[in-house]
């Protein structure tokens, strides 16, 4: 069991596209400070769709909220020069944590593939360019990445990212604790000893969650689907039930000794705060 006061909490946002979105995200950051977050991370669109907005958002977080900010950096479609420039720009702003990813090719994207094929190559490149300056997070998939041929192949590629120099990992979200525990166990048997922080997705909107889960390969268990489906028009009931389910999930993870929780807050604070409050994480 992890003591609540040693648990590290982080929250993930996406770069807002409008002035209103920027103001709202600043308010969200203020509210989420009640969790004493270790950092806020900001997603990145593959193929450059939000490269600049990711940069602007992390810089804004560092200035406005005084919480360390970690940009996601996906390498698909990027050149070594692009990535080098971004790393230098982040170093110039004292940003020293990066979530290093391959990324997904945006649909209809006809750009060239760039200099990187997989995230392990990006991790290697960051280490070669900047030594130990960055704390590098990578992605992990307890329910197996959708493009993987087998769980073992996925695990081997995950191990490659760790050998390339990743310091810790954040998982894709899941609602099945066993998937996570088996994955961590398999990693340990393979000699992977970095922290593997579970990614926690609050349940806000059933249709969105269902669509996104189909794409990213996260499973909504049948019992949960069956309970959420009839609530899809009653947002208050759905969210209250979702808070209950996700609180229970987090509590089981804490009981099993996880060292942190990474909330996919998606520019909202309410559900993350309610879950964290139930867990005794709100100061």
Q: Where in the sequence numbering do the catalytic residues fall?
A: 12
Judged by CB under 6 A, which of 26, 80, 135, 145 binds ligand FAD? 145
Please state, in angstroms and rounded to a whole number, the distance separating the CA atoms of residues 3 and 26.
Answer: 30
Judged by CB under 6 A, which of 96, 148, 190, 267 binds ligand FAD? 148
Q: Is 104 in the site for ligand FAD (CB under 6 A)?
A: yes
Stretch that binds ligand FAD, among 61-69, 95-103, 126-134, 246-254 (CB under 6 A): 95-103
Q: Element (H or E) spanning 260, and its range?
A: strand 260-263
Give residue 20's region: left, alpha or beta (phi > 0; psi -120 to 50). Answer: alpha
Q: Is 239 in the site for ligand FAD (CB under 6 A)?
A: no
- Residue 270's CB: how many other CB atoms inside 10 A? 14
Place of tokens 């997904």: 104
213, two tokens: 């889960």
Provide the 3-class DSSP secondary structure of residue 263. Answer: strand
Judged by CB under 6 A, which of 43, 213, 269, 272 binds ligand FAD? 43
Stretch that binds ligand FAD, among 42-50, 82-90, 123-131, 221-229 (CB under 6 A): 42-50
Judged by CB under 6 A, which of 82, 96, 118, 133 binds ligand FAD? 118
Please state, in angstroms and rounded to a whole number, the distance separating the CA atoms of residues 173 and 41.
Answer: 15
Stretch that binds ligand FAD, among 39-47, 107-115, 180-188, 232-240 (CB under 6 A): 39-47
Q: 204: closest CA among 213, 196, 216?
A: 213
Interface with ligand FAD by CB under 6 A: which residues?
A: 43-46, 72, 74, 99, 101-104, 118-120, 139, 145, 147-148, 153-154, 157, 161, 170, 172, 199
């Amino acid at each position: 069991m992890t003591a609540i006061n040693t648990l590290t909490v982080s929250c993930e946002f996406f770069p807002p596209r409008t002035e209103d979105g920027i103001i709202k995200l600043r308010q969200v950051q203020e509210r989420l400070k009640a969790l004493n977050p270790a950092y806020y991370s900001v997603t990145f669109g593959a193929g450059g769709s939000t490269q600049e907005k990711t940069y602007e958002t992390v810089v804004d977080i560092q200035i406005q909220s005084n919480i360390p900010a970690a940009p996601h950096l996906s390498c698909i479609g990027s050149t070594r020069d692009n990535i080098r420039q971004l790393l230098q720009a982040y170093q110039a702003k004292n940003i020293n944590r990066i979530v290093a990813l391959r990324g997904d090719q945006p649909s209809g994207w006809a750009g060239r593939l760039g200099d990187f094929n997989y995230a392990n190559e990006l991790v290697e490149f960051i280490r070669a360019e900047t030594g130990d300056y960055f704390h590098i997070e990578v992605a992990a998939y307890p329910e197996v990445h959708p493009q993987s041929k087998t769980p073992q192949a996925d695990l081997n590629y995950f191990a490659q990212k760790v050998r390339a120099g990743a310091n810790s990992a954040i998982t894709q979200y899941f609602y099945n604790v066993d998937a996570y525990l088996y994955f961590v166990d398999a990693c340990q048997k393979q000699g992977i000893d970095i922290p593997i922080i579970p990614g926690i997705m609050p349940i806000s909107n059933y249709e969105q969650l269902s669509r996104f889960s189909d794409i990213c390969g996260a499973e909504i268990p049948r019992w949960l689907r069956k309970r959420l489906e009839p609530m899809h028009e009653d947002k208050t009931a759905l969210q209250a039930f979702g808070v209950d389910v996700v609180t229970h999930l987090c509590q089981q993870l804490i009981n099993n000794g996880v060292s942190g929780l990474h909330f996919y807050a998606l520019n909202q604070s309410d559900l993350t705060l309610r879950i964290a409050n139930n867990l005794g994480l709100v100061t």
